[in-house]
């Protein structure tokens, strides 16, 4: 099983990256929290990896920290939550927000994430509330900033596509993105995506 990868980042998009390790490209599904922290193409990166084996596929899931990986493994241990929804949970909420929502029985916060219904949220709380005490709350690290500042029109479609892939309705995603660029026309991709997610989570 692959548990760790380090190499050069050669492809990056929300929820998916490719890392070149000595000439071999590994594609990993990642939560947005990891995506924000990866830096630019060509950067040296190291990710903790969970290898998910199915009859018809072998999928790799990458995380910047052990804490993120442990949280992913915890939520996917809950009945009805597979890796895809686990990544969506870690993308829709920060690690701290997710831990707090489970510990505080905040079902409203959990069901705001696409794909999480009331019953799933209740199972998360019932099965994981005690385990969350082991994942101590810490101040989340700031994302790596980029000098690249694209024009709003060049990235808004990509951000809408990323949000739709996470499960948000296209109309709601378009409205959120439009509002972000209305307030900050020079926002970078990562900044605009983060702001749009905050808007959709309200």
- Give the model confidence (pLDDT) of 98-146 as tens digits: 888 888 888 888 888 888 889 988 898 888 887 877 665 443 443 333 3
Among 29-38, 98-107, 180-189, the minimum mean pLDDT is found in 180-189
In 30-160, beta strands by DSSP E = 44-53, 58-63
Exposure class string for 16-55: b at 16+ Cβ within 10 A, else e? bbbbeeeeeebebbbbbbbbbbbeeeeeebebbbbebeee
User: In angstroms, how far is CA 86 from the centroid of its own chain?
Assistant: 9
- Mean of per-residue pLDDT scores for the chain: 81
**Is the confidence at residue 2, as pLDDT, over 50?**
yes
Q: Using pLDDT thresholds of 50, 70 and 90, give the confidence band for residue 40.
A: confident
Max Cα distance, the chain (Å): 47
| Domain 4-63 grouped into CATH 2.40.50.140 | yes
According to CATH, where is 1.10.8.10 located in the chain? 152-201
Residues of the chain with CATH 1.10.150.20: 66-134
Q: Which fold, 66-134?
A: DNA polymerase; domain 1 (1.10.150)
* Ranges of H-type helices in 9-49: 32-36
Q: What is the pLDDT of residues 49-67, one digit of tens each?
A: 998 887 777 899 999 888 8
Q: Is the pLDDT of residue 41 over 60?
A: yes
Segment 73-88 mean pLDDT: 89
pLDDT band at 202 (very low <50, low <70, confident <90, very high): low
pLDDT top residue among 129 and 150:
129
Smallest Cα–Cα separation from 36: which of 145, 185, 195? 145
Burial class (CB in 10 A: 0-12, 13-18, 19+), 198: exposed
The CATH number fitting domain 152-201, selected from 1.10.287.1080, 3.40.50.1110, 1.10.8.10, 3.40.50.620: 1.10.8.10
pTM greater than 0.85 (yes/no): no
């Amino acid at each position: 099983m692959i548990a760790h990868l380090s190499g050069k980042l050669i492809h990056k998009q929300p929820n998916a990256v490719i890392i070149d390790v000595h000439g071999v490209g590994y594609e990993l599904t990642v939560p947005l929290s990891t995506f924000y922290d990866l830096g630019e193409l060509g950067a040296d990166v190291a990710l903790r990896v969970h290898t998910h084996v199915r009859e018809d596929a072998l999928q790799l899931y990458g995380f910047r920290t052990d804490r993120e990986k442990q949280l992913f493994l915890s939520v996917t241990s809950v009945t009805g939550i597979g890796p895809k929804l686990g990544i969506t949970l870690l993308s829709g909420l920060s690690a701290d927000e997710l831990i707090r929502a489970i510990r505080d029985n905040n079902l409203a916060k959990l069901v705001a994430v696409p794909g999480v219904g009331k019953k799933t949220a209740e199972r998360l709380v019932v099965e994981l509330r005690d385990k969350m005490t082991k994942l101590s709350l810490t101040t989340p690290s700031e994302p790596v900033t980029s000098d690249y500042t694209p024009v709003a029109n060049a990235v808004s479609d990509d951000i809408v596509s990323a949000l739709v892939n996470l499960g948000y309705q296209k109309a709601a995603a378009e409205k959120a993105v439009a509002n972000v660029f209305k307030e900050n026309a020079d926002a970078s991709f990562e900044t605009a995506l983060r702001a749009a997610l905050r808007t959709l989570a309200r």
